Structure 1
Amino acid sequence: MSLCVYAFLRRVKKEGISTFLPALVRKYGYPLEEHRVTTADGYILTVHRIPHGRDAVNGTVERPVVFIMHGLMSSSADWVLMGPNKGLAYILAEEGFDVWLGNARGTRYSRQHVKLNPDSGAEFWNFSWDEIGNIDLPTMIDYALDKANKKRLHYIGHSQGTTSFWVMCSLRPDYNQKIISMNALAPVAYLTHNKCPLINQLAPFSTVFEKLSKVIGVGEILPITNSKIMRWAGEKLCSDNALFQEVCTDIVFLIGGWNSLEFNRTMLPVILAHTPAGASIRQFAHYGQVAHSDTFRRFNHLSYWNYKIYGTWDPPLYDLSQVKAPVFLRYSLSDPLAHIDDVKRLAKELGNLKAKTSIPMTSFSHLDFIWGIDAKKLVYDHVIADMRRMEESLFIFHPV
């Protein structure tokens, strides 16, 4: 076990998982702010902010805002786990950006509500990525812009972080005007050609499964109460020289695609201490409905409830032509979730596609966008270059 992972595990045992992300960021010498924002429907969300890099001087420089949104079962921790020079949040801070990290409702850092208890019944979990895009993202974006005293920001999303963005700009098109650029990493809208066994097996039964779970009072997938078990498994079973490390790696690959060249196994204890970070069963069911229906549409509550909620018997389609913000799609050929054919379909329907770029490594896969050894060289450097060009076109970039 490397010294950095050993130190991480000792810190987790001492301080507890809920305080780890702030402690880690500050340990590396970066400033960190924690902000709480309450949505119109009562969910209390945590947004993490790294306002500048390690050099205190550049904290006085005006910096463009970038908002980063995690994928399904993940959290803001995704962007700092790999450490300085590897984690996207650190890289962006050093490159002159004011970095804001969102946390969707139901994740480890946004597991609160003004009235509802996430650990009691299923009512807290009556949401999918529709609500995350329609409510959470606008709420967090408005808050970040207000605190930073800006009118527009850059957006970077991974997987579900892209899905929720399409939802936001489709249902609330006025938010297009608040986006300077959107970089979509492993973009997900359509799932017709996805190669994920779990999604494809459950897709035909998604709606029934979600309804049954509510009947028995269960709304969360892999409850966060299992985090201690995951930390124990990461330390005892998945660390370097552990007997089951290869099995742990295969489980990760089964979900996010195989690419042993880009996965640092030494970091498994770190990853498993933060992932899974919490999600509703309805989020998975909604993706299952998308895959089964060959459409990108709102959650199907079934006929009567659809009419009551949407005013139509069938759930409405998301109008991707309403996504007028400048979009840069970045996909990989080996991604089982963001399949190239589905990305091409998405690209044709977006209202303002700037570029569609394949990662120049055939084995690069879904989770490599956040944990890949070469993610900086293959992805992040190009994302930053796109953002700089967009800034320069608006004459508002302030280099540090």
Structure 2
Amino acid sequence: MRALTLTLIFLLQYQYLSGQASNWKNACPNWLQYNFRWFLPQCFYNPDVSGEITDIVQRYKYPATEYNVTTSDGYILVQFRIGDPNGPTILVIHGIYMNPMGWTLVGKDSLAFVLAEAGYDVWLVSLRGTRYTKHESLTQADPKYWEFTPHEMGTIDLPAIIETVSTENGGKPITLLPFSMGSTCSLIYTSTMPDHVAQHNVILQVHIAPIAYMDRVSSIVGLGPYIGWSRISAQLKKSGTYYVLKPSDQSRRTATLAFLPTTANVRGFWLIMGSIFGFSCQLNPATLAATVLNGGDTISVYVMDFYVQIMQTSKFAALDYKDPAMNQEHYGSDTPPEYDLSKIDIPTTLIYALNDAMATKKNVERLHSELTTNTCLKPVPMSGFTHQDFVIAKDGRKLLYQPLADEYLIGRCPDATITNCLTNYFANLRRNENE
């Protein structure tokens, strides 16, 4: 009987890996059901696991428009617009190992749909390096294609995108809503180009999980300076590898088998992700496969270099290429510039998570202390909320997205009452196992 069961499981998994199953069950309402997902009527096929942004948006009955933005250095970036074009304009800017699709993968409670539902003109921003990027003359096989950091995203990509948005919305006010690396880019943009900010009517920035400093982060990413990342980076470039974690259809299928939740391996996934982003109590069984397998995207090795340098130097500065000629090419000087945050002259809100292992409370508070304009500093009102939860949390609408729509994005700074969830996480998991 056991052999028959194992054979059946193997055949079902092989069918999925070979792409023969168009309605393979990949989502269940709770962890225990994943063990028997092929047979349970409660489990279902979630097309968001392998869909495209426009398909997902239209499935939720919102119009979606794509815009190609060409930067001054030849990158062609696809931007996505949903919601009410007559509403207040919001630019949602993705983080590292992410693309705009990440804001659409937790169903109707995704940030993109909560904002569209609230009447906003929502632009899902795509920065260079994602699957929604091409170049006029370079291919992804060209080393030069990957020679960028948040500096170029902030000083070239965002201005070009904002100019397009300003043209399309008739010059109405623009609010920036950046996350993680997107926050880094937005801080670079607003601190180095204040005249452009004013000219294009950018009136407010609301950062979620902002990263400008990474002193003593609790994530294993913080080990980068101590495990010889500079040597690893140099070796990768020497071997012709200028990016990491580039997804493919086959890698997504393989990863589905490795990480698709079951009652047993969700603990392993929780430990892996927790060591990077903070240990979460907000994983959603029904949408985890989509958010993990379809929300990720490629990272340039130079972007990794940028963040390791921030950890090493404790300075918010552009990447030092250790080559005066390269520094001249990127910055017009032999040495990289340090970003002066006091130059930011629009209201700025910083929203952080108390259990975030990447954008830690101490580092966000340091960022806040260096901003001289009207600022708001607030935690997400749950002590167990983590870096990844800003994108995938099962209670994201209640804890963050609805307050963003109702309060923060119109310039308010509401009080937050902190609740705790971590102590009950495994208790709830065990309860599900026993049901």
Aligned with 1:117 (options 135, 139, 157)? 139
Distance 1:265 1:253, change over 3 A: farther
Q: Distance in 2 between matches of 1:364 and 1:307?
A: 39
Percentage of matched positions with identical amino acids: 28
Do the aligned partners of 1:203 and 1:288 also contact (CA within 8 Å) in 2?
no
Residue 8 of structure 1 is matched in structure 2 by 46
- Residues 1:108 and 1:156: Cα distance change in structure 2 (over 3 Å): same
5 Å-filtered alignment, 1:143-222, equals 143-177=164-198, 178-202=201-225, 205-222=228-245
Structure 1's unaligned 5+ residue stretches are: 53-58, 391-400
Aligned to 1:81: 105
1:310-321 correspondence runs (5 A): 310=331, 312-321=333-342
Q: What residue is the counterpart of 1:68 in the other structure?
A: 92
**Is the contact between residue 121 and residue 218 of structure 1 (CA under 8 Å) also seen in structure 2?**
no
**Paired residue for 2:387, among 359, 366, 369?**
366
**1:131-166 C-alpha deviation (Å, 9 max, x unpaired):** 111111111111112112124211101101100001
- Matched-pair contact (CA < 8 Å) for 1:108–1:277: yes
Residues 204 and 143 of structure 1: is their aligned pair in 2 closer, same or farther, counting only changes over 3 Å?
A: farther
**Deviation at residue 359 of structure 1 after TM alignment:** 1.7
Q: Which amino acid aligns with 2:92?
A: I
**1:334 Cα offset (Å):** 1.1
> What count of residue pairs does the alignment treat as equivalent?
370
Between Structure 1 and Structure 2, whose CA radius of gyration is higher?
2
Specify whether residues 311 and 250 from structure 1 end up closer, same or farther in structure 2 by C-alpha distance, changes over 3 A only: same
What amino acid is aligned across from residue 126 of structure 1 in structure 2? E
Deviation of 1:311 after TM superposition, in Å, equals 5.2
Residue in structure 1 matched with residue 32 of structure 2 by the alignment: none
Sort the Cα spacing of 1:141 and 1:204 in 2 relative to 1 into closer, same or farther, 3 A: farther
Cα 1:113–1:93 shift into 2, 3 Å: same
Query: Bigger shift: 33-42 or 273-282?
Result: 273-282
| Match in the other structure for 2:147 | 126
Q: Which amino acid aligns with 1:65?
A: T
Secondary structure of the corresponding residue to residue 45 of structure 1: strand
1:298 to 304, 312, 318: 318
Partners of 1:170 and 1:388 lie apart in 2 by 22
2:371 to 350, 364, 385: 350
Q: 1:231 to 1:153 in 2, by over 3 A?
A: farther
Q: Secondary structure at the match of 2:259?
A: coil
Query: Any conservation in 1 of the 2:154–2:188 contact (CA below 8 Å)?
Result: yes
Equivalent residues of 2:225, 2:312 under 8 A apart: no
SS in 1 for 2:56: helix
Aligned equivalents of 2:252 and 2:271: distance in 1?
Answer: 16
> Offset at 1:358?
1.5
Instruction: Return the offset for 1:278.
Output: 1.3
Select which of 337, 345, 359 maps to 1:338.
Answer: 359
2:81 to 49, 62, 86: 49
Alpha-carbon separation, structure 1, partners of 2:192 and 2:226: 24
Give the alignment's TM-score, normalised by structure 2.
0.79
CA contact (8 A) 1:206 1:289 kept: no
Structure 1 residues 138, 204: closer, same or farther in 2, change over 3 A? Answer: farther
Which piece of structure 1 moves more, 321-330 or 344-353?
Answer: 344-353
Q: Does 1:272 align with 2:304?
A: no
Amino acid at match of 2:77: L
Distance across 2 between alignment mates of 1:128 and 1:346 = 20
Assess, with a 3 A threshold, how the Cα gap between structure 1 residues 250 and 75 changes in structure 2: closer, same or farther.
Answer: same
Return the alpha-carbon distance in structure 2 between the equivalents of residues 136 and 218 of structure 1: 23
The letter for the 2-side match of 1:210 is S
| Change over 3 Å in CA distance of 1:220–1:332 after alignment to 2 | same
In the alignment, the residues of structure 2 paired with residue 156 and residue 22 of structure 1 have an alpha-carbon distance, to the nearest angstrom, of 20
Q: Name the CA distance, whole Å, in 1 between partners of 2:43 and 2:121.
A: 28
SS in 2 for 1:265: coil
Q: Deviations over 1:351-370 (max 9, x none)?
A: 32421001221111111111
| Counterpart for residue 396 of structure 1 | none
Distance change (3 Å), C-alpha of 1:5 and 1:248: farther
Counterpart secondary structure, 1:182? strand
The C-alpha deviation readout for 1:70-112, integer Å capped at 9, x for no partner, is 000101111110111x1111111111111000111111112x1
Q: How well do the aligned residues superpose, as a CA RMSD in angstroms?
A: 2.2
Distance 1:376 1:136 in 2: 29
1:193 to partner: Cα distance? 2.6
* Residue 231 (str. 1) matches residue 231 (str. 2): no
Q: Which residue type is aligned with residue 83 of structure 2?
A: P
Question: Are residues 311 and 115 of structure 1, via their aligned partners in 2, closer, same or farther at CA, if it must alter by over 3 Å?
Answer: closer
Kindly state the Cα deviation for residue 243 of structure 1 after the two structures are TM-superposed: 5.3
Secondary structure at 2:57's aligned position in 1?
helix
- Structure 1 residues 209 and 99 mapped into 2: Cα distance closer, same or farther (>3 Å)? same
TM-score (norm 1): 0.86
User: C-alpha separation between the residues in 2 aligned to 1:347 and 1:148?
Assistant: 31
Structure 2 letter corresponding to 1:155: L
AA of the residue aligned to 2:45:
A
Show the counterpart of 2:119.
Answer: 96
**Kept in 2: contact 1:157–1:184 (CA 8 A):** yes
| CA spacing shift, 1:175–1:200, aligned 2, 3 Å | farther
